[in-house]
Chain A
Amino acid sequence: MKKKLTNENIGKSKLFITAAVIFLCIGAVYWVKSANRSNQKPKKVRLSRTIGDPNADIRIVEHLDFQCSACAKGYFLLKRYLEKYPSRIQLELKYFPWTKQRHAFESALFAECSARQGKFWEFSKLLLRKQKLWRKLSVDDAQLMFREIAHEVGLDEFDLADCTMDELIKQSILSERKEGKLLGIKQTPTYFINGKMVVGVKNLQRELATIFGEKLEKQEGQRGHEGHSHE
């Protein structure tokens, strides 16, 4: 009897420890999550990379890598929605160049330099449209292509040359990426639709279809992972 009572106590102690471990675990996770959230600073809106109605009810912030093929799909999908619902959407693009991508940073740099000359949207459209052409090029050849696109949209080549050498501009792209990491971004494209995080083009499509009351169309080739992930 005494042994049975002791075993019961032991059983209870073990359950108590189990509960304590689970409780501490949950506490640790939520503590770290809230610490991460408090590290997020207010975001600066960059007007040169914002398009659409400033009074729009749907505000979308896209974090993209110009070398990411899913980002290109997402960009053109959003463009279609912007044309269809011009007064309802405001879109802002932010850079999240993926470190493993050879041309991610350079393409973002050229895009930012085009923004400084007021031609961001023209440049980025061409850049993404021609993505398949420059993705697999060498660094030098890709840069040449970026300059050709810049010329096509009418950028001043001397200002462009100065801009691409500007360390402050490079730092601004990196700090934008850091901002994205603090928001918990691990893949591109990642969107924030009125503050709600949406990852990948498929989920963007689903979310937009829900918002605008449209039927979600199944598209060929949109299976599997649609983006770049993990630095």
Chain B
Amino acid sequence: MRGIRMNKFVVIRIIIGSFFVFSGFEKLVMPIENFQAIMESYDVLNHELAGIAAFIMPWVELLAGLFVFLGLWLKVSLGVLGGMTIMFFGVVAQAIIRNLPIDECGCFGEAFSLPLPAVLVMDSILCALIVILMKSLTKTSALSIDCYFLEKSQT
């Protein structure tokens, strides 16, 4: 294929995509009650809304992460992940400010977990990387399904 060139943007894209795929998948294969309880612990949503969010969010993480990984609808999927990261940052920040009794974030299901301040750092880095990827979309979409279809449409 023409225009296929591995570059650092592609590497970052694949890492970020994998990260969100893993995060979403871990939450989805476990009982939803676990993630719902974690969401409620942040004291932002009530029980019913936390239940809805606990169902929807992991799917959005998984699918957007997979789309980023594959380079499919990249602009939209990166935007979604960026939006989610900003939202996570806000939720965690308010938990720290309000001194809520949360030891660990619950971000990655059973695999591992981080203390809240570390989550803020992680979200900031993720957000910054996503913005960089979006600003250099041409390079980011090398070796992607979007790139394949773009080349097809130009031939």
Measured CB to CB, the residues of A under 8 A from B are 6-7, 10, 13-14, 17-18, 21-22, 25, 29, 32-33, 36, 181, 183-187, 190, 197-200, 202-203, 206, 223-231
Chain B positions within 8 Å of A200 at CB level:
37, 40-41
Chain B 65-107 interface mask (CB, 8 Å, partner A; 1/0): 0110010110000000000000000000001000011111010
Judge whether A25 and B104 touch: CB under 8 Å.
Answer: no
In the assembled complex, the Cα of A13 lies from the Cα of B63 at a distance in Å of 18
Chain B 88-128 interface mask (CB, 8 Å, partner A; 1/0): 00000001000011111010011011000000000000000
26 contacts between A and B (CB under 8 A): A6-B153, A10-B153, A14-B145, A17-B145, A21-B63, A21-B66, A21-B70, A22-B63, A25-B66, A32-B25, A185-B34, A186-B30, A186-B34, A187-B38, A190-B33, A197-B33, A202-B40, A203-B40, A224-B43, A224-B101, A225-B100, A226-B101, A227-B37, A229-B34, A230-B109, A230-B110
In the assembled complex, the Cα of A181 lies from the Cα of B29 at a distance in Å of 13
Chain A positions within 8 Å of B67 at CB level:
18, 21
Judge whether A33 and B29 touch: CB under 8 Å.
Answer: yes
Say whether B62 faces chain A, with CB atoms less than 8 Å apart: yes
In the assembled complex, the Cα of A227 lies from the Cα of B37 at a distance in Å of 10
| B96 CB to nearest A CB, Å | 11
Measured CB to CB, the residues of B under 8 A from A are 25, 28-31, 33-34, 36-38, 40-43, 47, 62-63, 66-67, 70, 72-73, 95, 100-104, 106, 109-110, 112-113, 145, 149, 152-153
Chain A positions within 8 Å of B25 at CB level:
29, 32
Judge whether B30 and A224 touch: CB under 8 Å.
Answer: no
In the assembled complex, the Cα of A25 lies from the Cα of B73 at a distance in Å of 16
| A83 CB to nearest B CB, Å | 26
| B31 CB to nearest A CB, Å | 4
